[in-house]
Amino acid sequence: MQRLKPTFVLIARWRYGQTPYGIPDRVFWDDGSPATLEEYWAHELDTQECIRGAKGGVEVHIYPEIIADLSFDPVIGSWVLGGPGVSPAVLDEPDPEISDEMLLAALCRLPTFYRTRVHRNGGTLGCTYFLEQNKKDDIL
């Protein structure tokens, strides 16, 4: 997998034995400076990847500035993911009229969970109700 190269990274860490779905044991920025739980919660739905920590725990590296673009490519006959800082991917979804729920399920199968802007029929469709009901933008 191509490594993401963002300007800044928020890291949430859970000790070995902790569930990575609960409150993290430690939250910090990639330069080592501490972060708050409020910052973690503000970015927990941004682009992220899960990494095994050095002592057997789990780290989630969050990239707030990376937003993937997802669109249907009629030449390939499938949905394609790309954009700055994004590892390009072709989803195994040949239906250009696929539901937002099915697109989200396909995105969740990728090794990196991307905050995603969905482009349909030459335009951008708002898909905020999946992950961010309180924000009015076009991002999954």
pLDDT digits (tens, 9 = 90+) for 82-98: 999 999 999 999 999 99
Question: Residue 80: its pLDDT value, please?
Answer: 96
Do 106 and 74 belong to one domain?
Answer: yes
Report yes or no on 137 lying in a domain.
no
Q: What share of the chain is helix, strand, coil (3-state, %, to 5)?
A: 10, 35, 55
131 — pLDDT class (breaks 50, 70, 90): very low
- Residues pairing with 107 in the sheet: none
Q: Which residues contact 5 (CB under 8 A, 6 or more apart)?
A: 85
Of 52, 53, 85, residue with least CA distance to 69: 85
> Each residue of 9-20: pLDDT tens digit?
999 999 998 887
Do 71 and 112 belong to one domain?
Answer: yes
Do 42 and 77 belong to one domain?
Answer: no
Q: Which residues contact 33 (CB under 8 A, 6 or more apart)?
A: none
> Each residue of 28-61: pLDDT tens digit?
999 999 999 999 999 999 999 999 887 889 999 9
Do 96 and 72 belong to one domain?
Answer: yes
Number of structural domains the chain divides into: 2
Q: Which two tokens stand for residue 83?
A: 């954009």
- In which domain, by residue range, is 73 found? 67-124
Do 84 and 44 belong to one domain?
Answer: no
Do 48 and 75 belong to one domain?
Answer: no
Do 80 and 94 belong to one domain?
Answer: yes
Three-state SS for 31-73 is CCCECCHHHHHHHCCCEEEEEECCCCCEEEEEECCCEEEEEEE
Report yes or no on 133 lying in a domain.
no
Do 108 and 78 belong to one domain?
Answer: yes
Report yes or no on 49 lying in a domain.
yes
Question: Residue 138: its pLDDT value, please?
Answer: 47
Do 72 and 27 belong to one domain?
Answer: no
Q: Is the pLDDT of residue 24 over 50?
A: yes
Do 35 and 73 belong to one domain?
Answer: no
Question: Residue 97: its pLDDT value, please?
Answer: 93
* Whether this model's pTM surpasses 0.75: yes
Question: Residue 4: its pLDDT value, please?
Answer: 53
